[in-house]
Chain A
Amino acid sequence: MNLKNNASMLITRPKDDPTTNYLFYWAGLVIDEAKKRGFRVFDLKEKRANKKELSSFIKKMGPDLLFFNGHGDPDIITGCNQEALVQSNYNENITKDRLVYALACSAAAKLGTRCVKAGAQAFIGYKNLFIFLTEQTFITRPLEDQTAALFLEPSNIVTISLIKGNSAGDAYRRSQREFKRSIRKLLIDESPQTDKSSLRFLIWDMENQACLGDQSAKV
């Protein structure tokens, strides 16, 4: 795949509650992959995941790809201390000319469409809550949590695919395929030890994932 020279990604990853703590560590794997591929990575982590730094970095550095990790609702994606980073009818234009992946609840319901109208090339996200299960014993070691992996690996595929030069539509389809793989893994394994309780939430996340805008857009 051909990537443009000096391709860059800006990532926000607050870490101020158990949910964002998991997203923080799993997003770290995407950063590793981006660096390996020669991307410039602007990592707005923990307290740096705030609106001021986000606006400043986008203006100065012009990243091609925005990867948000945090909470959300149909009109907002948040950063540290749930500060609104991108908000409908306020600053969705900061996504103009960029590819966006929002791992945040419900942001594709309205905000995603508004971002595309404001000029974002494509917006991948979730039209409803993003739900995932974790194991209590891995709360301090999120990357070892195989239950969380069922959800966060398919999610990571979105950004990793974009980093590899795939189009937004392809990144979405690859992620959908990975969700299905997780689902199938649970359906096929008949051992009594296999916990199938994740299935309902995996199916929910997969069905609510959406790719808006130009499906052929790529970094």
Chain B
Amino acid sequence: MQKELDKDKIEREIQELVIERLKLIPSDKNISIGGATFTRSQIIDHVQKKDEIGKQVVEVELSYLKALKRGDFFEFEE
């Protein structure tokens, strides 16, 4: 029971984090993803609804944060 509550809490916090980060995308940009094109606010709606597009965007964001943590992109060879 406690584990489920913790999991829900973590998921909610991740969702909030992703939404806050998505708000930094300039509003004049479109995002082409999975066969459709979305505005920033449409993408945020998808994340809030936790639908397939929303879940995919969360996965992209988490993958990005992990890459930054690993420091992958500060070690480029030319």
Contact = CB atoms under 8 A, between A and B. Distances in A.
Interface of A: 17-19, 22, 71, 82, 105, 129, 131-137, 139, 147, 180, 183-184, 187, 195, 197, 199-201, 203-204, 207
Contacts of B17: none
A183 B34 CA distance: 22
A18 B36 CA distance: 8
Contact of B64 (A71, A136, A200): A200
A195 B63 contact: no
Nearest to A78: B35
Nearest to B65: A200
A135 B61 contact: no
B30 A133 contact: yes
B73 A19 contact: no
Contacts of A187: 73-74
Contacts of B56: 129
Contacts of B37: 17-19, 134
Contacts of B26: 195, 197
B64 A203 contact: yes
A134 B60 contact: no
A129 B33 contact: yes
18 contacts: A17-B36, A19-B32, A105-B35, A129-B33, A129-B34, A131-B60, A133-B25, A133-B29, A135-B29, A136-B29, A180-B73, A187-B73, A197-B24, A197-B25, A197-B26, A200-B60, A201-B31, A201-B60
